[in-house]
Amino acid sequence: MAFKEISLNKFEEYNHKTDPFASVIGEQKFWYADDDANLIGTIILDKIDNDWSHVIMAQEEDGEYRFTDGGVSEESSSKAIEKLTQIMKNYATKGKIESDLYNSTLFDPKSSIVITDMNDEIKKYFKKHPEKLYQLTPRKFEELIASMLKDFGFTVELTKASRDGGRDIIASMKNAVTNFLAFVECKRYAPDNKIGVGIIRQVSGVHHLRKPSKSIIVTTSFFTKNAKEEAKLIENALDLKDYNNIKSWLDKY
């Protein structure tokens, strides 16, 4: 994190525009920058109300820093600084996550950068850009689904990549009433590569052999008509979740 306090002279070196009227009603007292995240910020004392505000500016494509966030009516400079610091760090974290997503093994198995924690910021990113699910590596897609299932209250275990089909994720839930065990098969497919009867039968076979409470197929694609009809033969044991279901899950973040 490159967040730091800077001087007024250093702040003025950044390519930004300030409303001339702002200096009439307020006086800048503290200045901050995060060069890695292309953010600058200032703490302002209101000359009229004698309270404090903050302004954060982000660098845009033309190189100029423009207003992106702000707040007013803080009773002390320390509270205004605390608010600015937290917001700038949040913006920097989100920006780093988006940058890492494009340069990590989420999308490129040969990259040396690895995102191991499927945290809420990553899920919020996919909520905003669900089409990027298609660019995930199959293993990272499994990790994403496992993380969401964990958020929904399941205890999850990712199986080894070399295992037989039918259970990429083992999800369980225990309470005072019952134990529930689900095998989850994940298919990160292109939207036009629909899940057919073959995979339904494969998962059904594993279900019959291992006898979990439920088997679930989760895909970024969709299911053919024949696949849906085949699944109805064991509809109490098999759930089908497609791209739209995943988007619905992501809406919770």
Q: What is the pLDDT of residues 3-34, one digit of tens each?
A: 999 999 999 999 997 766 566 788 999 999 99
- Check the CA dihedral 63-68-73-79 and report its sign: negative
| Residue 221 sits in the same domain as residue 153 | yes
Q: Model-level pTM? A: 0.62
Q: Phi/psi of residue 136, each to 5°?
A: -65, 145
| Residue 152 sits in the same domain as residue 85 | no
- Please name the amino acid found at residue 43: I
The verdict on residue 56 lying in a domain is yes
The verdict on residue 108 lying in a domain is no
CATH of the domain at 188: 3.40.1350.10
Q: What is the mean pLDDT of residues 68-75?
A: 90
Q: Is pLDDT of 78 > 90?
A: yes
Rg (the chain; Cα; Å): 25
Residue 47 burial (10 A CB sphere; 0-12, 13-18, 19+): exposed
| Residue 155 sits in the same domain as residue 84 | no
- Check the CA dihedral 105-111-116-117 and report its sign: negative
Tokens of 248: 């619905």
Q: What is the mean pLDDT of residues 70-75?
A: 91
| Residue 137 sits in the same domain as residue 241 | yes
Tokens of 221: 């694609």
The verdict on residue 43 lying in a domain is yes
Q: Per-residue confidence at 104, pLDDT binned at 50, 70, 90?
A: low
The verdict on residue 177 lying in a domain is yes
Which stretches of 79-175 are assigned E, i.e. beta strand?
155-158, 169-174
**Per-residue model confidence (pLDDT) at position 103:** 55
**Per-residue model confidence (pLDDT) at position 106:** 61
**Per-residue model confidence (pLDDT) at position 40:** 95
Q: Are strands 3-6 and 26-34 parallel, antiparallel or unpaired?
A: antiparallel
The domain total for the chain is 2
| Residue 125 sits in the same domain as residue 60 | no
| Residue 150 sits in the same domain as residue 89 | no
The verdict on residue 107 lying in a domain is no
Q: Phi/psi of residue 154, each to 5°?
A: -90, 150
| Residue 160 sits in the same domain as residue 241 | yes
| Residue 174 sits in the same domain as residue 96 | no
Quote the domain boundaries for residue 239.
120-250
**Per-residue model confidence (pLDDT) at position 159:** 87
Q: Is pLDDT of 203 > 50?
A: yes
Q: Is pLDDT of 130 > 70?
A: yes
Domain boundary among 102, 137, 153: 102
- Name residue, tokens 């897609």: 141
The verdict on residue 71 lying in a domain is yes
| Residue 215 sits in the same domain as residue 241 | yes
Q: What is the mean pLDDT of residues 152-162?
A: 85
| Residue 70 sits in the same domain as residue 150 | no
| Residue 179 sits in the same domain as residue 138 | yes
150-184 burial, b at 16+ Cβ within 10 Å, e below that, comes to eeeebebebeeeeeeebbbbbbebeeeeeeebbbb
Q: Per-residue confidence at 112, pLDDT binned at 50, 70, 90?
A: very low
The C-alpha atoms of residue 233 and residue 236 are separated, in whole angstroms, by: 9
| Residue 142 sits in the same domain as residue 217 | yes
